[in-house]
Every structure is written in structure tokens, then in C-alpha cells.
Structure 1
Amino acid sequence: MPADILAFGQQVLGQQAFSKLLGAQLDAFSPGHVELSLPVVPGLLQQHGFVHGGVLSYLADNALTFAGGSVLGDSVTAEYKINYLRPAKDAERLLAVATVVGSGKTQAVCRCDVFMLRGQERTLCAAAQGTIRKAG
């Protein structure tokens, strides 16, 4: 892993066309920890005015993979599960915070909490766990 892991992670995120489309930002990145966020815009809402579940799922999946990759190197998602705890509504941004629970040479188990951000308020709206494996 490069010395400036945050800059490296931002470069990797910048290569993901879908992440760029959503306006995702890598806010923090260190071994075993990542914070990934994105702005909530009208195009991300479903018919009830909530952020679409696919957007929450994207954030959790990508944050889990970045967390696993921070200890494994180049990695991909092997599997993950997400629980939607409450509708993501009236949020300015979404923030996914993922950590490595345990890792070996080829895989890591990670967990992620997804929060709605409104001003200084932070409300948990989803929780996920996944297995990340070394690519290749």
C-alpha cells in the first residue's frame, strides 16, 4: 500500500465511473477503516421521496471493499448483506463508515454503517457486513 493511502484511494475511486456518476467522495482511508460519502440529489430518490435502496447498497458495498482492500490490496466483494434500518429521507449527504472485523492473507470480513447526514445530525439508516477477497 502506498505511503499516502488516502490519495491512492481517491485515485482508485476516481477510476470508478459509477462512483463518479453518483458524486462519491473518499473522506477517510487508513488500514482497516474507510469513510465514503455522497450528496443526496433528487435523482437518487424513489417514489416515496426516500434515497433508493440501491444507492445505500452501492455505498455499503464500495465501503466494505475499500476497507478490505486497505489490508489485502487489490480486492473484490465476495458477498455482502445489508439491512435497511430506516428510510433515508431529508438527508444532505450519506456517509458509509466501514471497518475490517478480521482478515487473513486472501480475505477480510468487514462491517459498514450507513448514515444520513443533516447539518450536524448523523442518523443510522443501514448496516452491512461482507466478505472481501483479494483480486486475481
Structure 2
Amino acid sequence: MNEGEDVDFRDRVRQSFERQQAMRTLGAELTRVEQAMVEIEMPFDVKLTQQHGILHAGVIAAGLDTACGYAAYTVIAPEASILTIEFKVNLMSPGRGERFLFRGEITKPGSTIIVADGRAYALGDGPAKLIASMSGSMMVIRGRQEFIG
């Protein structure tokens, strides 16, 4: 891959992420975009907690799904897009931290189906703590104007 193509996928991911109203609502930001890997970070917000004051599982799933979806977006043609068709999340530890990191990585690229794995970490004073993992499948969409970008 040449350097121009490298910049292109990063720009496409950033532009698409800017249109993500769900991530904006959560206060999430795109912090790293590499070939087959994306990281999203989000500050703790009490409005995103469940009844015990920890980050809601649905918010964790949304962060992981988005990170994995954009990781898939880095490995497809510019005219294609991605839709998640399946995922499973394992919650491993309570979502307690000052910030949260959602990392999506491609496990198996494909021309129609892409498999991705995600990890969610709580960040604070000490070392990052793994709080959840995800395995998901993304479908490559072509020729559908409503799904471009």
C-alpha cells in the first residue's frame, strides 16, 4: 500500500466517525486509526451508568461495535461500506474508570464478511484494566448509496 492510500482510509474513517451521532452523544472520540485497527476513547460520564454507578453494558457494546466496524472500514475499498451483522460481548469486569478505551482489530478480512475482535479497557490511575471483549462479523456493502461512508 502506498502512502496516499494509507492517508485515504484514515480520512474516510475520520469523516465517517464525525457523522456518528451515537458516538458524539457518548462523548467518544477517535484516537487511533491504523490498517485493520481502530481505537476510540470516551470519558466517564455518570449519565452513561447503570443502577450501580458503573458504565452500562450497552454503552460498552456500542463502543466495541463502533471500534470493530471502523477497523473493518480500514480494509475495504473506498466505495464500499460496512454494517455489523452479528456480535457477542463478554463483560469481564465492572466498567469503572476515568476514561474508557475501545480497540477493534481485524481477525479475518474478507471480500463479503469481515471478522473483528474488540477489547474494552477502563483507564485511571493504575494500569489499563480489561473490562470486556467482543467478537463480531461485519458485512461489506457495495452499490447502496444510503450506506456510503
If each structure's strand is expressed as a fraction of its own residues, which one has the higher value? 1
1:58-93: per-residue Cα shift (whole Å, max 9, x none)? 00111111111111241110101000001112x111
Residues in 2 aligned to 1:71 and 1:113: alpha-carbon distance in whole angstroms: 19
1:68·1:133 contact (CA, 8 Å) conserved in 2?
no
Structure of greater Rg: 2
The alignment's TM-score, normalised by the length of structure 2, stands at 0.84
After superposing the two structures, state which structure 1 stretch, 48-57 or 65-74, moved more: 65-74
* Structure 1 residue ranges without an equivalent (≥5): none
1:72·1:106 contact (CA, 8 Å) conserved in 2?
no
Alignment partner, residue 123 of structure 1: 129
Residues in 2 aligned to 1:16 and 1:3: alpha-carbon distance in whole angstroms: 20
Residues in 2 aligned to 1:4 and 1:26: alpha-carbon distance in whole angstroms: 16
2:104·2:116 contact (CA, 8 Å) conserved in 1?
yes
* 1:104 aligns to 2:110 (yes or no): yes
* Structure 2 residue ranges without an equivalent (≥5): 143-149
Correspondence for 1:55 among 47, 59, 62: 59
Q: Counterpart of 2:33 in structure 1: which amino acid? A: F
The alignment's TM-score, normalised by the length of structure 1, stands at 0.92
Q: Counterpart of 1:55 in structure 2: which amino acid? A: V
The count of corresponding residues between Structure 1 and Structure 2 is 135
